[in-house]
Amino acid sequence: MTDLPLSPSPRPIRLLRHLGAGLARALLRHPRIAAIEALSRLSDAELAASGTTRRRELDRILGAQAQL
């Protein structure tokens, strides 16, 4: 039985980082995920000032995207 190295080699780490960044970009292009990400940027105070809830705002965003 061979001993495994204590730290992984840098090459697979770079590959995983590259794939992770690509996957993140692809996911953010998906309309629903982009809507959720945009909604997560709004603070509770901003939502309260607009008189809505996160759920209503998400429904509004997704409804608008469905119409496109």
State the Cα–Cα distance between residues 19 and 15, nearest whole angstrom.
6
Average pLDDT value for the chain: 72
What is residue 46's predicted lDDT score, i.e. its pLDDT? 85
State the Cα–Cα distance between residues 25 and 53, nearest whole angstrom.
27
Rounded to whole angstroms, what are the CA distances from 16 to 11, 12, 13, 23, 55? 9, 6, 5, 10, 34
What is residue 4's predicted lDDT score, i.e. its pLDDT? 46
**pTM score above 0.75:** no
Q: pLDDT digits over 36-47, tens only? A: 777 788 888 888
Contact 37, 14 (CB under 8 A): no
Angle (deg, nearest 10), helices 54-67 and 31-41:
140
Residue 12 has pLDDT above 70, yes or no: no
